[in-house]
Copies of this chain bind each other. A is one copy, B any other.
């Protein structure tokens, strides 16, 4: 992972673009907005059903509104942030050599039937029929559509690599939409697809997009990690998720405390070694363990450490049953079981299945004298157990003083457990810690999964037909807005990073009935725009307290307040992030702002 860490150096090209955007990503559109003429419905109360800080604040500060479960409207402020995030994504994708296009949301079922996903996607895929009863899917991603287009248009290796992307509304009928924009049913995504005639080219583009993603999340000021992820049923090899570290994250990341190693905990290999205690082997005994089912209960009852217990689980691996052994204090990682057997489906057997296959309850399983035909595999740690404890495959009975090899055999000792905090980092550097992460991006080497299924072939240098090699790359754009919102706030409201703040400056006229104040404010409103600052002007006839509270809630980088000292030509400047407040002659405001934004 180290070679892929976020670089501090920028390409000259990017630097130039940064300079142009020292304050924020410019919309070429409107620089200014009067608060009286827009829709920023702020709320004092915390909405009852909003659990996370970002969801609460996006609602309270008037950035979004829910119209149905998991379906949101971006109000004017939310739309501005969204556009700026999109623009950063677009710039970095363009710089990586990807070309923008726009594919449709309505995707005919036939394409999904070709890829097979029509049958496997499940209820997350929204389906509908048109007036002629033809079936369509509302696109959650566009592998099928893009593969069909490239299949029809490109015939020769000479046209590769090709990288295309789009920023578009996607649909996924989540079972439990939650956390506002974080897990919605209609959301904005940037999805990219690359096509290649060889794996070196895929590797090269994968690294380039990886770098683009790092640039994007770094420019957004996010605290993130690129973690090794599960390639799952997609059959690809390399795959990384970009995770923003956050307590509300739904994924757990295992990372090293002293290197850049990071992986989804499902994916982290365990490199621990276990020393076998130098104890004499005792005679195995069958003991009565009434009502003791769990490792904890058995360990207590028999006064044996959990590390001496052998946790035994029955899995259904594709069509056969397998016993999996791990140490009592460890947990089975079913992804590793699946990978070991190169299986399609791995599921823990139900109590009924266990009863019918092994004739005893789940709490009494063990590897000793196991029924013929049931394969047994074990985690490395089990091999180091001496005089251990396991179920006797009989309700209410366990064995004590069980020893591997002497009392049971296994097909293989291998890595089968979840990594834990405190384990050594798989890269050999430091110790593993856990963090929660919000997945905001995903890069994936698809290989020929779609091109073979959908007949996307090209002619190689020798005139031979070959399946196109593909990669796919996604960023949850609206989810990223949520992740930024979650990270940049305090008890009063948002503290937007200047790059994506909806406006640069919140200009407030304290008393709009005071002609001097109003005039000075209007004058600043005009002059700041001329300097290309984006200004939100609170010209509402509200009390000062309301305006200040709203300004803190909305969280623009700088507040400029025109109050009583307007008659002396003095205004107040407040930096939202640092809470600094100072008075400035109105005539100096432009140079003051320049230096503030320089520092921010």
Interface set of A (CB-CB < 8 Å, partner B): 25-26, 28-30, 33, 36-39, 41, 65, 67-68, 71-76, 78-80, 82, 87, 90-91, 94-95, 97, 99-108, 111, 123-124, 126-128, 130-131, 136, 138, 145, 148-150, 152-154, 158-159, 161-164, 166, 168-169, 171, 173, 175, 185-186, 541
CB atoms of B162 and A37 under 8 A apart: yes
Central interface residue in A29, A72, A95, by most chain B CB within 10 Å: A29
Q: Are B104 and A79 in contact (CB under 8 A)?
A: no
| 16 A-B interface contacts by CB (under 8 A) | A30-B95, A33-B99, A41-B154, A65-B152, A67-B108, A67-B111, A68-B108, A73-B101, A74-B103, A76-B100, A76-B164, A79-B101, A80-B100, A106-B185, A131-B175, A138-B138
Q: Which 8 A-B pairs have the closest CB atoms?
A: A128-B128, A30-B94, A41-B153, A74-B102, A123-B131, A76-B99, A68-B108, A38-B99
Nearest to A66 among chain B residues (CB) is B104
What CA separation (Å) do A482 and B113 show in the bound complex? Answer: 32
> Is A101 within 8 A of B39, CB to CB?
yes
Are the C-beta atoms of B30 and A148 separated by less than 8 Å? no
Bound form: Cα–Cα A169–B139 in Å: 13
Known: A39-B101, A73-B104, A105-B169. 14 other contacts (CB 8 A): A25-B28, A26-B28, A28-B28, A28-B91, A29-B100, A37-B163, A39-B149, A67-B107, A67-B111, A74-B103, A76-B99, A78-B101, A105-B105, A130-B185
Is B175 in contact with A145, judged by CB distance below 8 angstroms? no
Please give me the residue from chain B that is nearest to A20 by CB atom. B28
Task: Establish whether residues A79 and B100, one from each chain, have CB atoms under 8 Å apart when the complex forms.
Answer: yes
Q: Which of B39, B67, B74, B79 contacts A148 (CB 8 A)?
A: B67
Which residue of chain B lies nearest to A103 when distances are taken between CB atoms in the complex? B73
Question: How distant is A507 from chain B, measured CB to nearest CB, in Å?
Answer: 17
A524 to nearest B CB, angstroms?
18
In whole angstroms, how far apart are the Cα atoms of A575 and B28 in the complex? 28
Q: Is the CB of A97 within 8 A of B67?
A: no
Determine if A101 and B74 form an interchain contact, defined as CB atoms under 8 angstroms apart.
Answer: yes
